[in-house]
Amino acid sequence: MMLSGWGNYPRVDCTVTRPRDVAELMGAIGRNPTLIARGAGRSYGDAALNRAATLVTTRLNRIAAFDPASGVVSCEAGTTLDELIEVFLPRGWFPWVTPGTRFVTVGGAIASDVHGKNHHLDGTFGRHLLSIDLALADGSVVRCSDNENPDLFAATQGGMGLTGVILRATFRLRPVETDLVVQHTTRTRDLAQTFSALEDASDATYSVAWIDCLARGANLGRGVVYRGEHAALGDLPPAREGRAYEDAPRRSRTLPLSPPSFALNRYSMGALNAAYYGRAKAGRNLVSYQTFFYPLDALLHWNRIYGRQGFVQHQCVLPLVSCDEALRELLTMIAARGTGSFLAVLKLCGEAARGPLSFPMRGYTLALDFQANAGNFSLLTELDEVVAAHGGRFYLAKDARGGARLLRDGYPRLEEFSRTRDRYDPRRRFRSVQSERLGL
């Protein structure tokens, strides 16, 4: 069937299997010469596509154990963060690390070593991971942790499914007193202010900036900076007294159809951006966890807004030393073209994680969407050059079009990753359209 990532680009005809349990999954691994695991399909590009065999793990969603004293949970890899939140938030636990959507699977979160708005303090998903069970190319299943198969454990975090199929994972959740977030909003006038607001926010648990990437000249880099803390019991409004965890309606709206591609142009985008910038209320607000962490999840299938041809997300991280210059260059190019997305996200990252292909490193990460078309692709290639020239790297979970050279330049520990795969999967049975494109 025709399959794609969240960006709906590229679309590839893949043979898809949906095993019901670990036994069926092991059978599928044995039968197929090459394969890739796929979770909820929320990586953007072609990382979870394999023409010969794409194994969808969403039915492997059983929770095996939970320790209410420590918050350690064990579950199958197809369990989504949404399910974990539904089950454990009412008991006072939240994922330590969550990306901007709760509809990812645990397996996908590990394979992409996802980060969230608290990366500067709490690192990636992998930092809170205690162990995984990994199905290898030779048909065996091994436990990986800091003590058992530590090389595989590290390589699998951010390894894009290329080390094996994650079957189960054990990891820590974070204790929270309520399901609300205390949010502080600051509006900034230019990039310098945005940087300083983000740096000021580095002691906040969560911090992120939204950049109006269509603003030019003196307004270049203006945006809205959000800081957040999990609300304590004392922060509850009077109406919520005694109800720390509301059975909040988790209903979402669906964008049913793709609008025609001409609906998205620099004027409509500019109007959206300006409206968003103007709407952000400065100051302190008490908001639901959905509003704070998952604003886009409220519109299911928002990816359809980019039309049938789909979109790509450009996400890079730039080291601190060069980020000011690099971001000015990038934002100037993007604003000049005027085809950038409604959403451009800027975030200050903390230390790099243990995975050789894990994305974040100390510096600023910028992410924005582009409709998939030839004009944007040529712009993206130019952006890639700027990223490479400043010692940055791109995020494999978002990538649909990068090249092998860009990968080598951005990931100095690529050799280490290849050696681990030589040891456990010398024939490269675990492969994806992305790994083939990148020569991984």
Report the nearest approach of other proteins to the CB of residue 181 (Å): 25
Euclidean distance between CA atoms 279 and 96, whole angstroms: 30
- Among the listed ranges 18-26, 144-152, 255-263, 374-382, the one in contact with other proteins (CB under 8 A) is 18-26
Per CB under 8 A, 141 contacts other proteins = no
Per CB under 8 A, 22 contacts other proteins = yes
- Among the listed ranges 61-69, 293-301, 393-401, 410-418, the one in contact with other proteins (CB under 8 A) is 61-69
- Among the listed ranges 56-64, 129-137, 297-305, 342-350, the one in contact with other proteins (CB under 8 A) is 56-64
Helix orientation angle between 374-389 and 320-337, rounded to the nearest 10 degrees: 160
Helix orientation angle between 191-200 and 320-337, rounded to the nearest 10 degrees: 140
Contact positions with other proteins (CB under 8 A) in 327-356: none
Q: Considering the complex, state which of residue 62 and residue 308 has its C-beta at the smaller distance from other proteins.
A: 62
String of contacts with other proteins for each residue 270-289, x by CB under 8 A: --------------------
Report the nearest approach of other proteins to the CB of residue 248 (Å): 16
Dihedral angle sign, alpha carbons of residues 231, 235, 237, 238: positive
Q: Considering the complex, state which of residue 171 and residue 306 has its C-beta at the smaller distance from other proteins.
A: 171
Q: Which residues contact 278 (CB under 8 A, 6 or more apart)?
A: none
- Among the listed ranges 4-12, 17-25, 244-252, 365-373, the one in contact with other proteins (CB under 8 A) is 17-25
In angstroms, the Cα distances linking 161 to 157, 166, 362, 433 are 9, 8, 24, 12
Report the nearest approach of other proteins to the CB of residue 30 (Å): 19
Residues in the chain: 440
Q: Considering the complex, state which of residue 85 and residue 225 has its C-beta at the smaller distance from other proteins.
A: 85
The one among 27, 31, 52, 64 contacting other proteins by CB under 8 A: 64
Per CB under 8 A, 66 contacts other proteins = yes
Euclidean distance between CA atoms 285 and 238, whole angstroms: 15
Per CB under 8 A, 63 contacts other proteins = yes
Question: Hey, what amino acid is at 397?
Answer: A
Per CB under 8 A, 251 contacts other proteins = no
Given a contact cutoff of 8 angstroms between Cβ atoms, the answer to whether 375 and 407 are in contact is no
SS3 category, 239: helix
Euclidean distance between CA atoms 290 and 230, whole angstroms: 12
Report the nearest approach of other proteins to the CB of residue 86 (Å): 9
Report the nearest approach of other proteins to the CB of residue 128 (Å): 19
Contact positions with other proteins (CB under 8 A) in 87-106: 87
The one among 76, 122, 384, 409 contacting other proteins by CB under 8 A: 76
Per CB under 8 A, 20 contacts other proteins = yes
Given a contact cutoff of 8 angstroms between Cβ atoms, the answer to whether 111 and 158 are in contact is yes
- Read off φ and ψ for residue 141, nearest 5 degrees: -120, 125
Given a contact cutoff of 8 angstroms between Cβ atoms, the answer to whether 286 and 182 are in contact is yes
Q: Considering the complex, state which of residue 24 and residue 324 has its C-beta at the smaller distance from other proteins.
A: 24
Per CB under 8 A, 239 contacts other proteins = no
Q: Considering the complex, state which of residue 74 and residue 157 has its C-beta at the smaller distance from other proteins.
A: 74
Q: Considering the complex, state which of residue 87 and residue 130 has its C-beta at the smaller distance from other proteins.
A: 87
Euclidean distance between CA atoms 344 and 425, whole angstroms: 38
Q: Considering the complex, state which of residue 68 and residue 439 has its C-beta at the smaller distance from other proteins.
A: 68
Dihedral angle sign, alpha carbons of residues 102, 12, 167, 430: negative
The count of residues interacting with other proteins (CB under 8 A) is 11
- Among the listed ranges 60-68, 147-155, 180-188, 348-356, the one in contact with other proteins (CB under 8 A) is 60-68
Euclidean distance between CA atoms 407 and 363, whole angstroms: 18
Q: Which residues bind other proteins (CB under 8 A)?
A: 20-22, 61-66, 76, 87
